[in-house]
Amino acid sequence: MFFGIITYANPLKGYGFLTVSSFEKGAIVQQQYFFHYSNFQKLPVPQIPVLGGYCVFELGEPFAIGKKPQAVGVRFATPEEIAKHSTNTTSAGADGLGTDPLTIAGVKAAV
């Protein structure tokens, strides 16, 4: 299961992108995954994708040949999942980059 943020949504065309951020080898790595609104889970109350929404999802078959896998089974993350993800990320703050907003990748910005 992946944890990401909706960084683009086009309700007229019915698709969007989820961004997954990770910290690897001293650098922030971001991956984007396409999702179609039909892959957003239809719970008892339909969920509508919104920018900045925290989501959990699985990877499915690519949308087209030669493309990356797409996000399927997309749903909004629960507060518990968000808290768990925040504590599992090394030195993650509210933005997932670090506890100090002036610190990126462990380097303190000069003020």
pLDDT at 23: 85
pTM for the whole structure:
0.71
* CA–CA distance, 76 with 50 (Å, rounded to integer): 10
* CA–CA distance, 46 with 39 (Å, rounded to integer): 12
Domain boundaries of the chain, sorted by first residue? 2-108
Choose among 106, 105, 82, 80: nearest CA to 94. Answer: 82
Q: Kindly list the distances between the CA atom of residue 19 and the CA atoms of 22, 51, 82, in Å, as whole numbers in the listed order.
A: 10, 11, 15
Report the half-sphere exposure of 71 (CA within 13 A, side-chain side).
28
Amino acid of residue 67 = K
Overall fold of domain 2-108: OB fold (Dihydrolipoamide Acetyltransferase, E2P) (2.40.50)
Choose among 43, 51, 44, 95: nearest CA to 74. Answer: 43
pLDDT tens per residue across all 111 residues of the chain: 899 999 999 989 999 999 998 888 889 899 999 999 988 877 777 778 899 999 999 999 987 888 889 999 999 998 898 888 877 654 444 444 444 444 334 444 444
pLDDT at 48: 84
Helix (H) or strand (E) holding 28: strand 27-36
Q: Other C-beta atoms within 10 Å of 111: how many?
A: 4
Q: What is the pLDDT of residues 75-100, one digit of tens each?
A: 999 889 888 887 765 444 444 444 44
